Amino acid sequence: MSDAVNPATSSKKTKRSYRKGNPIPSKERQQAYLSRKSETHKALSAVIRIPLKKKLEQFAAEEGITQAEMIERLIESEIIRRSENL
């Protein structure tokens, strides 16, 4: 049998703070995220061909990382490749 819930006590539980009030709009959430990352990261916006974007998604999924992390890895591997050719 399921446990009975006492309505007198269940409504007195404190809710988690992020549940109170209106949700933060996505634009504000993104600005907060970028401001937290701004000391070590720089935002990048690019338009690339669809097949290349799909490959980026595939590579990132195979590695279990984000697309941003995959781009960082690709740039780092290119840096190493170029330094070996000097």
Residues 64-77: tens digit of each pLDDT: 999 999 999 999 99
Residues 18-53: tens digit of each pLDDT: 667 788 899 999 899 889 989 899 989 999 999 999
Q: Enter the tokens of residue 56.
A: 């980026």
Looking at residue 16, its pLDDT comes to 61
DSSP tag of 48: -
The residues, ordered by sequence, that sit 6+ positions from 67 with a Cβ below 8 Å of its Cβ are 56, 57, 60
Q: Work out the end-to-end distance of the chain between its first and last CA atoms, rounded to an integer number of angstroms.
A: 73
For the entire predicted model, the pTM comes to 0.64
